[in-house]
Amino acid sequence: MLARIVFALIAAFYPLVIHAQEKLTATEVMDRAQAAFYSPGADMKARVTMDLINADGKKRTRVLSMLRKNLPGGREQRYFLYFHEPGDVRRTAFLVWKYPEKDDDRWIFIPAVNMTRRIAARDSRSSFVGSDFSYEDISGRDLAADSHTVLREEKLGDAACYVVQSTPKAAADFSRKLSWIDKTSWLPLKEEYYDAQNKLARVFTADKTEAISAGGKTYPTVLKRTMKNVQSGHRTEVVFENVSYDVGIAPDVFTERSLQQAPEKWIR
C-alpha cells in the first residue's frame, strides 16, 4: 500500500520536477550563475594575480589577497582586498560592503599616509585597478538591472550551456551581454559584451575551472579567467591560487581595523 502511495506521488510529481528543470527562467539561470560564481560558500579566501597585457604584449602585474564573507540570510557580502604588488600600491587595501539594491560602501586604505577614506562607489562600471574587469565584474552586477532571456541551449566545448542574453534596463557601457552558463556547475564559461553599436567589445572566458572541496561540500571554481577587450586588443588574465572556502573568517576582519593592520593570518 505504502509503496503504491509513494509510487503514485512520484508519478504525480515527476513530470513537475522535469518540467521545473526545463522551464528555468532566464533570471533563475542567471541567479544560479551568480550564486555559483560570486558567492559560493559562507566565506572564501584566495590569492589573485592579475596580468594586464596590452596589444603589444607589454605586461603589468597586480597581486592581491581577496577575502569574502556572505552575510547570513540575504545577499549582502563583505570583501577585503589587500595589494602585495606592484610596489607603489603595496599594502593598499580596499574594504567593500556590498548590498544587493543600493550603492556599496567602499573604503580605501592608503599606506603612505596611514589614511582610511570612504570612496564614491557610484559607477560600478569603472575599471578595477586599471584592468579590463570593472568593479561589477569582480563582485557581481545587480540581476534586476538587466532583463534576461534564454536565447538557446548549446554546447561550449564539452559543457552543455544555457545561452542567456542580458540587456541593461538603464544606460550602461554595454548594450547587451551573452552568457554561456554551464548547466552542471552553473558557472559562466563565456561572456560577450556588445557596445552601443552592437559590436563585440569584451569577451570573458573561464579558462580553467576546478571543484574545490570544503567541509564535505564542493564548490566549482574558476581558477583562471580572461577578460579581453577585442577592440583595443588589451586583455587581463586572472589566476586564483590558494582558494579555500568555509574557513571561518570572522566578521571583524571586514572592518577599518584590518585596513590599518592587515589580518596576517588571512592574507599571507
Partner 1 sequence: MRLASALTVLAILWPGSLGAEEKKNRLPVTVHGFLMGNASVRTTGEHPPMGEGGAFVLGEERLRLDVSGATKSGNGFLQIKGDIFHDAVANRVDGDLREAYAGFRSSQFDLRLGRQIVTWGVGDLFFINDVFPKDWESFFSGRPMEYLKRGVDSVRLQYSSEALNVDVVATPFFTADALPSPKRFFLYNPFAAVAEQHQYSPPARAENTEVALRLYRRMAGFDVSLYGYRGFWRMPGANMDSGNGAPRITRFYPRLVTWGASAQRNLLNGVVSFEGGRYNSLDDRCGSASGVPNSQWRVLASYQRQLAQELTATFQGYAEVMDGYDSYRKSLPAGFRPEDRVRGLFSVRLTQFLGYQNWRLSAFIACSPTDSDCFAQPEVSHRLSDKLSAAVGANIFSGKHETTFFGQMEKNDNVYMSLRFDF
Instruction: List the interface residues with partner 1, window 169-198 (CB under 8 A).
Output: 173
Residue 231 makes contact with partner 1 by CB under 8 A: no
Minimum distance between the CB of residue 5 and partner 1, rounded to whole angstroms?
A: 52
Residue 210 makes contact with partner 1 by CB under 8 A: no
Which of 27, 35, 42, 85 is close enough to bind partner 1 by CB under 8 A? 85
Residue 114 makes contact with partner 1 by CB under 8 A: yes
CA distances from 239 to 65, 193, 207, 243 (A): 12, 21, 10, 10
Which of 25, 126, 213, 242 is close enough to bind partner 1 by CB under 8 A? 126
Candidates 223, 237, 264, 209; CA nearest to 80 is: 264
User: Cell 548549446 appears where?
Assistant: 154
Choices 80-88, 143-151, 219-227, 241-249 (CB under 8 A): range interacting with partner 1: 80-88
> Which is nearer to partner 1, 137 or 182 (by Cβ)?
137
Q: How does DSSP assign 133-198, residue by residue?
A: SBHHHHH---GGGEEEEEEEEEEETTEEEEEEEEEESS--S-SEEEEEEETTT--EEEEEEE-TTS
Residue 55 makes contact with partner 1 by CB under 8 A: no
58: exposed, middle or buried (Cβ count in 10 Å: 0-12, 13-18, 19+):
exposed
> Which is nearer to partner 1, 88 or 158 (by Cβ)?
88
Other Cβ atoms less than 10 A from the Cβ of 13: the count is: 12
Minimum distance between the CB of residue 87 and partner 1, rounded to whole angstroms?
A: 3
* Cell numbers given for 261: 593592520
- Using the Cα atoms of residue 114, residue 120, residue 124 and residue 129 in order, give the sign of their dihedral: negative
Which of 12, 113, 170, 171 is close enough to bind partner 1 by CB under 8 A? 113
Residue 4 makes contact with partner 1 by CB under 8 A: no
Minimum distance between the CB of residue 113 and partner 1, rounded to whole angstroms?
A: 5
As a whole number of angstroms, the distance between CA 198 and CA 220 comes to 32
Q: Which residues bind partner 1 (CB under 8 A)?
A: 52, 54, 60-61, 85-88, 90, 102-103, 105, 112-115, 117-123, 125-127, 129-131, 173, 234, 252, 255-257, 260-261, 263-265, 268
